[in-house]
């Protein structure tokens, strides 16, 4: 072996070691232009998957479906980011409403908190600024932005800046709005996300979503129903969840008193 | 004619008086009643020690233009270690003249002295004629100064004066043993310090920075471009110094000295040792852009100092084939930029804490201070097709919900949260989580957690507070988290 071959071989070896379970070789190879979600119909409608280095807007379909929308956005971020770290920009107000990012839960969802950096922005302007800074950093895979309500600062010009930053760096932007009136957004896609019932026979199953692609790709008012495999980190057709045994820690219920109000 | 008064003991006494008042014999220590009786037209002001201290501190900030080592003594004295600084002003006379001009421009009267040790300088400035005392000339310089300069307690001072020892010179040439016997060993020590026989360090307000780079301008600069360029040279200077000692900066301070005496300090902290000038500059730019009251050059800055306040060993990262490492460095740089811009507390990471208590198991902490803290949540890693057992968001503190359950210790079948009624169609639980008795007060109830799903597929994490019958008769329910 020549002197030159050795480092090249070492690099190759480490590249092979990096190939993840899902076949991604990131971050060594530049990720492909699109990230397949995993659900064939959806990927077909998107022309192969979600575009990387682009701006994707999301909103909950109905009030009370914000956690589902957050889950779907995080799942998309994981698909887009391959193995790279994520930046989650929240607004302080949103925390009071929907709680704080929770490490054990995110880990169980498939997002290892070791890959996550959070920014708690005081207001929408700060959130946009932090997001733009993140989108300029090539080391990131995706930036999730959650502004609160419908602040004035979020206008077409501000969002356009995010689009440009995302396009220049290849980092994907996921913009999740909770409520507020519709505004024009310059994104590649727009999604309306709802929660979907579990298919499992026992307790709640894997995260499941009903999503409508409202813009981008072959947008039509078609609804996709998909389940998120937390372990494989890929979307798939719902109804995959196997039956599971509930984790009862106490003995069987002995006394039965019909309908009694407590609490 | 103005005097400052303060409440002392039972009455109100003068603590300071202006020149006119002093000339009329209204001296500190006199009671206000007496002063008023002598001169009814007196203008009286109440003492404001906090404001005095703040003012002295701002003067100390301004004095940092001469040296980073500035100490504040008492209510009206600044001690500066000007070792090696005088040449910038064409010698000690120049430095003293510069200080005098600047302080007079701000409306103060200055008594100043430069000497080989701080005790002599202070005594000559306060009790003597001031000026510059050459090394070896200390004893001569303090010869005529009143013994009050020794800072003795009133009893000893009075007995010194009774013996006719009024000036320092009277004491210096006396035999020392009897003096030590009569007035104590510390009296001799003070005397020796005064004439420079022993070294006395000054205790500065802040430690000497690890590395300092400084630029002074004959013509004050104010244009953004000029400032940017000088910051870049400063950062490059600092880099050379840091390189020499193999270190990088973790905490930096940028001090802007305005020609009119105003001083502004900007501080940043970094997540890892840094020395790259461009990176440093970018961090300071973020910080400057984010200031609520922006940097005002006024008529220009005549000196800028960049100091590394805290340094750590710098490990050279080789440009490797390994793209991963570059990414990590970039990520750390991003965290630093965001922290400079939005504050260190706003940029967070999730730390895993070893605790059974759900609210203690995970904590958002400033990303720059993660250090050795564990980010390892692998205990919660997803398993095959099992549903996640913990919510992605935790509602803290848990919110009270109204629950309808079939049996008091059974799962909920309906619940109301924030005025919305949810019909539960799937539940999993209970998962019993006992309080950490070594941390919680006695009697903290056990919690039975349920993962529930409503008819629209929304998923919640609820718990019943207290075991029915054993701990409570009417258990209360709380919502603690939301699943995706």
B78 shares its domain with B145: yes
Neighbouring C-beta atoms of residue B460, cutoff 10 Å = 24
B80 shares its domain with B175: yes
Q: B390 in contact with A at a CB cutoff of 8 Å?
A: yes
Inter-chain contact A67–B393, Cβ cutoff 8 Å? Answer: yes
Contact B184, B155 (CB under 8 A): no
Place of tokens 């100043």: B112
Nearest residue on chain A to B401, judged by CA atoms? A263
Q: Six-digit token pair at B340?
A: 């400079």
Inter-chain contact A27–B324, Cβ cutoff 8 Å? Answer: yes
Closest by Cα among A148, A60, A76, A74 to A107: A74
Q: B469 in contact with A at a CB cutoff of 8 Å?
A: no
Closest by Cα among A142, A158, A140 to A150: A158
Tell whether B432 is covered by a domain.
Answer: yes
Inter-chain contact A207–B402, Cβ cutoff 8 Å? Answer: no
Q: A195 in contact with B at a CB cutoff of 8 Å?
A: yes
Q: A26 in contact with B at a CB cutoff of 8 Å?
A: no
Closest by Cα among A2, A141, A126, A23 to A85: A141
Q: B33 in contact with A at a CB cutoff of 8 Å?
A: no
Nearest to A262 among B326, B341, B474 (CB): B474
Inter-chain contact B457–A208, Cβ cutoff 8 Å? Answer: yes
B17 shares its domain with B33: yes
How far apart, in whole angstroms, are the C-alpha atoms of residue B391 and residue B38? 79
Q: A208 in contact with B at a CB cutoff of 8 Å?
A: yes
pLDDT of A135: 95
DSSP-assigned states of every residue in B72-132: EETTTEEEE--TTTGGGGTSHHHHHHHHHHHHHHTT-----EE-SSHHHHHHHHHHS--EE
B351 shares its domain with B327: no
Q: Which of residues 304-333 of B touch A (CB under 8 A)?
A: 321-324, 326-328, 330-331, 333
Contact B196, B226 (CB under 8 A): no
- Compute the Cα dihedral for B409, A108, A134, A164 and give only its sign: negative
pLDDT of A24: 47
Least reliable range by pLDDT among A103-107, A108-112, B42-46: B42-46
Nearest to B327 among A27, A255, A260 (CB): A27
Helix B323-342 to helix B277-289 angle (10° resolution) is 30
Domain that holds residue B40: 2-47
Q: Is A107 left (phi over 0), alpha (psi -120 to 50) or beta?
A: alpha
Q: In the structure, how many helices (H) and strands (E) does chain B have?
A: 13, 19
**Domain range annotation of chain A:** 36-237
Burial of B37 (C-beta count, 10 Å sphere; 0-12/13-18/19+): exposed
Closest by Cα among A241, A238, A228, A237 to A77: A228
Q: How confident is the model at residue A113 (pLDDT cuts 50, 70, 90)?
A: very high
Nearest to A263 among B406, B425, B477 (CB): B477
If you average pLDDT over residues A235-252, what whole number do you get? 52
Inter-chain contact A247–B476, Cβ cutoff 8 Å? Answer: no
Closest by Cα among B452, B470, B357, B444 to B403: B452
B271 shares its domain with B237: yes
pLDDT of A15: 52
pLDDT of A81: 92
| pLDDT above 50 for A95 | yes
B234 shares its domain with B308: yes
Inter-chain contact B383–A231, Cβ cutoff 8 Å? Answer: yes
pLDDT of A248: 40
Closest by Cα among B465, B449, B460 to B484: B460
Neighbouring C-beta atoms of residue B48, cutoff 10 Å = 12
Distance from CA of B323 to the nearest CA of A (A): 6
Q: Which of residues 108-167 of A touch B (CB under 8 A)?
A: 108-110, 112-114, 116-122, 126, 129-130, 133-134, 137-140
Provide, as residue numbers in chain A, all residues whose Cβ is less than 8 Å from the Cβ of B404.
259, 261-262
Interface confidence, given as ipTM, is 0.80
Nearest to B382 among A108, A120, A194 (CB): A108
Place of tokens 């037209």: B41
Provide, as residue numbers in chain B, all residues whose Cβ is less than 8 Å from the Cβ of A14.
322
If you average pLDDT over residues A256-260, what whole number do you get? 40
Q: Is A184 left (phi over 0), alpha (psi -120 to 50) or beta?
A: beta
Tell whether B465 is covered by a domain.
Answer: yes
Provide, as residue numbers in chain B, all residues whose Cβ is less than 8 Å from the Cβ of A199.
none
B479 shares its domain with B402: yes
Q: A93 in contact with B at a CB cutoff of 8 Å?
A: no
pLDDT of A119: 96
CATH number for the domain that contains residue B223: 3.30.1490.100
Most confident of A76-80, A125-129, A246-250, B177-181: A76-80
- How many whole angstroms from its chain centre is CA B381? 41
Q: Six-digit token pair at B464?
A: 């019943």
DSSP-assigned states of every residue in B134-182: -TT-HHHHHTTSBGGGG---HHHHHHHHHTT--BHHHHHTS-HHHHHHH
Tell whether B203 is covered by a domain.
Answer: no
Tell whether B201 is covered by a domain.
Answer: no
Inter-chain contact A137–B427, Cβ cutoff 8 Å? Answer: no
Inter-chain CB pairs, A–B, below 8 Å: 289
B234 shares its domain with B161: no
Torsion of CA A166, A169, A174, A175, to 10 degrees: -40
Inter-chain contact B385–A14, Cβ cutoff 8 Å? Answer: no
B63 shares its domain with B114: yes
Provide, as residue numbers in chain B, all residues whose Cβ is less than 8 Å from the Cβ of A112.
377
Q: Which of residues 395-454 of B touch A (CB under 8 A)?
A: 395-396, 400-410, 420, 425-432, 448, 451-453
Inter-chain contact A100–B396, Cβ cutoff 8 Å? Answer: yes
Torsion of CA B380, B382, B388, B392, to 10 degrees: 70
Domain final residue pick, B381, B402, B437: B381
B142 shares its domain with B36: no
Q: Which of residues 56-85 of A touch B (CB under 8 A)?
A: 62, 64-65, 67-68, 70-72, 74-75, 84-85
- Which residues lie closer than 8 Å to B363 by C-beta, 6 or more apart? A103, B350, B351, B353
Query: Which CATH fold topology does A36-237 show?
Result: Rossmann fold (3.40.50)
The proportion of chain A whose per-residue pLDDT surpasses 90, expressed as a percent, equals 52
How far apart, in whole angstroms, are the C-alpha atoms of residue A229 and residue B94? 76
Nearest to A258 among B401, B406, B458 (CB): B406
Closest by Cα among A125, A126, A144, A124 to A135: A144
pLDDT of A28: 43
Nearest to A253 among B410, B420, B426 (CB): B410
pLDDT of B233: 92
DSSP-assigned states of every residue in B356-401: SSGGGSEEEEEGGG-TT-----GGG---TTPPPSS-SEEEEEEEEE
Helix B154-162 to helix B176-183 angle (10° resolution) is 140
Nearest to A99 among B337, B395, B475 (CB): B395
DSSP-based three-state secondary structure for A76 = helix
pLDDT of B320: 45
Nearest to B483 among A204, A244, A262 (CB): A204
What is the greatest pairwise CA distance in chain B? 100
Tell whether B434 is covered by a domain.
Answer: yes
Inter-chain contact A84–B327, Cβ cutoff 8 Å? Answer: yes
Inter-chain contact B426–A206, Cβ cutoff 8 Å? Answer: no
Provide, as residue numbers in chain B, all residues whose Cβ is less than 8 Å from the Cβ of A133.
334, 337-338, 341
Tell whether B225 is covered by a domain.
Answer: yes
- What burial letters (b/e) apply to A69-96, b meaning 16+ CB within 10 Å? bbbbbbbbbbbbbbbbbbbbbbbebbbe
pLDDT of A184: 74
Place of tokens 């946009």: A128
| pLDDT above 50 for A23 | no
Tell whether B206 is covered by a domain.
Answer: no
Closest by Cα among B377, B350, B351 to A110: B377
Neighbouring C-beta atoms of residue A31, cutoff 10 Å = 20
Tell whether B42 is covered by a domain.
Answer: yes
How far apart, in whole angstroms, are the C-alpha atoms of residue B399 and residue A22? 39
Angle, CA B380 vertex, CA B376 and CA B385 arms, to 5°: 140
Inter-chain contact A250–B430, Cβ cutoff 8 Å? Answer: yes
Q: Tell me how many domains chain B contains.
A: 5
Q: Six-digit token pair at B250?
A: 């973790």
Inter-chain contact A249–B431, Cβ cutoff 8 Å? Answer: yes
Provide, as residue numbers in chain A, all residues whose Cβ is less than 8 Å from the Cβ of B331.
85, 117, 137, 139-140
Q: A242 in contact with B at a CB cutoff of 8 Å?
A: yes
pLDDT of A71: 97
Which residues in chain B show pLDDT less than 50?
318-321
B43 shares its domain with B55: no
Q: In the structure, how many helices (H) and strands (E) does chain A have?
A: 7, 13
B236 shares its domain with B310: yes
């Amino acid at each position: 072996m020549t002197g030159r071959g050795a480092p090249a071989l070492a690099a190759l070896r480490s590249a092979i070691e990096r190939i993840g379970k899902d076949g991604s070789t990131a971050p060594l190879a530049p990720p492909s232009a699109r990230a397949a979600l995993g659900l064939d119909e959806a990927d077909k409608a998107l022309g192969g998957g979600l575009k990387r280095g682009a701006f994707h807007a999301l909103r909950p379909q109905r009030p009370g479906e914000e956690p589902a929308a957050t889950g779907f956005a995080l799942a998309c971020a994981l698909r887009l980011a391959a193995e790279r770290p994520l930046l989650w920009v929240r607004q302080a107000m949103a925390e009071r409403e929907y709680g704080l990012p929770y490490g054990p839960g995110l880990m169980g969802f498939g997002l290892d908190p070791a890959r996550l950096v959070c920014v708690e922005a005081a207001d929408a302007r700060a959130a946009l600024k932090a997001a733009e800074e993140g989108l300029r950093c090539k080391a990131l895979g995706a930036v999730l932005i959650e502004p609160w309500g419908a602040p004035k600062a979020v206008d077409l010009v501000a969002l356009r800046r995010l689009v440009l930053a995302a396009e220049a760096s290849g980092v994907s932007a996921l913009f999740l709005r909770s409520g507020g009136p519709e505004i024009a957004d310059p994104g590649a896609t727009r999604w309306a996300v709802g929660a979907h019932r579990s298919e499992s026979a026992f307790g709640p199953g894997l995260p499941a979503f009903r999503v409508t692609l409202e813009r981008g790709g072959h947008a039509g008012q078609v609804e996709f129903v998909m389940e998120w495999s937390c372990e494989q980190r890929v979307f798939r057709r719902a109804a995959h969840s196997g039956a599971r045994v509930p984790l009862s820690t106490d003995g069987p219920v002995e006394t039965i008193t019909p309908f009694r109000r407590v609490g | 004619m103005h005097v400052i008064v303060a409440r002392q003991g039972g009455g109100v006494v003068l603590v300071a008086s202006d020149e006119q008042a002093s000339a009329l014999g209204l001296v500190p220590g006199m009671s206000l009643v007496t002063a008023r009786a002598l001169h009814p037209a007196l203008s009286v002001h109440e003492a404001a020690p906090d404001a005095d201290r703040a003012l002295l501190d701002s003067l100390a900030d301004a004095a940092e233009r001469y040296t980073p080592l500035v100490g504040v003594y008492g209510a009206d004295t600044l001690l500066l270690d000007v070792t090696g600084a005088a040449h910038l002003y064409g010698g000690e006379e120049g430095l003293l003249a510069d200080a005098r001009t600047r302080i007079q421009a701000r409306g103060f009267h200055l008594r100043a002295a430069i000497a080989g040790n701080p005790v002599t300088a202070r005594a000559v400035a306060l009790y003597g004629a001031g000026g510059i005392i050459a090394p070896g000339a200390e004893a001569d310089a303090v010869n005529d100064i009143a013994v009050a300069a020794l800072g003795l307690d009133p009893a000893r001072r009075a007995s010194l004066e009774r013996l006719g020892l009024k000036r320092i010179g009277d004491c210096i040439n006396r035999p020392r043993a009897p003096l030590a016997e009569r007035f104590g060993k510390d009296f001799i020590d003070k005397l020796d310090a005064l004439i420079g026989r022993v070294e006395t360090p000054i205790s500065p307000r802040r430690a000497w920075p690890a590395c300092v780079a400084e630029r002074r301008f004959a013509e004050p600069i104010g244009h953004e471009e000029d400032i940017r360029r000088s910051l870049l040279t400063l950062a490059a200077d600092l880099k050379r110094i840091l390189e020499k000692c193999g270190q990088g900066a973790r905490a930096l301070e940028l001090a802007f000295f305005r020609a009119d005496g105003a001083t502004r300090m900007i501080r940043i902290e970094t997540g890892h040792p840094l020395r790259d000038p461009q990176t440093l500059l970018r961090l300071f730019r973020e910080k400057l852009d984010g200031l609520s009251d922006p940097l005002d050059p006024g008529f220009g800055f005549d000196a800028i100092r960049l100091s590394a306040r805290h340094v750590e060993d710098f490990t050279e990262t080789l440009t490797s084939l390994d793209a991963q490492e570059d990414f990590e460095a970039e990520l750390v740089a991003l965290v630093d930029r965001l922290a400079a811009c939005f504050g260190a507390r706003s940029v967070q990471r999730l730390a895993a804490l070893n605790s059974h208590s759900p609210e203690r198991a995970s904590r958002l902490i400033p990303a720059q201070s993660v250090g050795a803290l564990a980010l390892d949540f692998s205990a919660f890693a997803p398993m095959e097709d099992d549903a996640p057992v913990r919510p992605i968001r935790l509602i803290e503190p848990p919110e009270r919900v109204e629950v309808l359950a079939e049996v008091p210790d059974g799962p909920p079948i309906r619940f109301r949260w924030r005025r919305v009624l949810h019909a539960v169609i799937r539940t999993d639980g209970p998962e019993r989580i006992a309080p950490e008795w070594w941390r919680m007060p006695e009697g903290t109830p056990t919690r039975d957690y349920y993962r529930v799903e409503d008819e629209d597929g929304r998923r919640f994490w609820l718990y019943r507070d207290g075991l029915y019958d054993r701990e409570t008769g009417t258990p209360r329910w709380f919502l603690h988290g939301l699943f995706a």
